[in-house]
Amino acid sequence: MSNRVSVQLFGITREIVGSSALTLDLPQPGQVGELLSNLKEQYPALNGLRSLLVAVNGEYAEADQPLHPNDEIALIPPVSGG
């Protein structure tokens, strides 16, 4: 059974991936950390980010949080201001 999730990309993550959103079919229910690892394999420039927050369905998530079909994930890069 596939586990389709939506990934929203912001800031530098959008520039790296070249899109503001991705729809991914995960082979099985997984965890946030596994999703990040897969994205970093596909888009190696993501490895250069000092920090990257992840939100699942509007709530900040840790690497061990399970993912479920139809989850909405947001990758939130570090923000600099002045």
Whether residue 68 is contained in a domain is answered as yes
Query: CA–CA separation, 32 vs 61, rounded Å?
Result: 7
CATH of the domain at 16: 3.10.20.30
Whether residue 50 is contained in a domain is answered as yes
What pLDDT, on the 0 to 100 scale, is given for residue 2?
Answer: 65
What value, to the nearest 5°, has the Cα angle with vertex 65 and ends 62 and 71?
A: 110
Whether residue 63 is contained in a domain is answered as yes
Whether residue 36 is contained in a domain is answered as yes
Which helix or strand (DSSP H or E) is residue 62 part of?
A: none
Find the domain containing 28 and state its range: 3-76
For residue 82, pLDDT over 80 is answered with: no
pLDDT in tens, 28-66: 768 999 999 999 999 999 999 988 999 999 999 999 999
Query: CA–CA separation, 25 vs 80, rounded Å?
Result: 32
Domains contained in the chain, number: 1
What pLDDT, on the 0 to 100 scale, is given for residue 79?
Answer: 75
Whether residue 10 is contained in a domain is answered as yes
CB atoms within 10 A of CB 50: 6
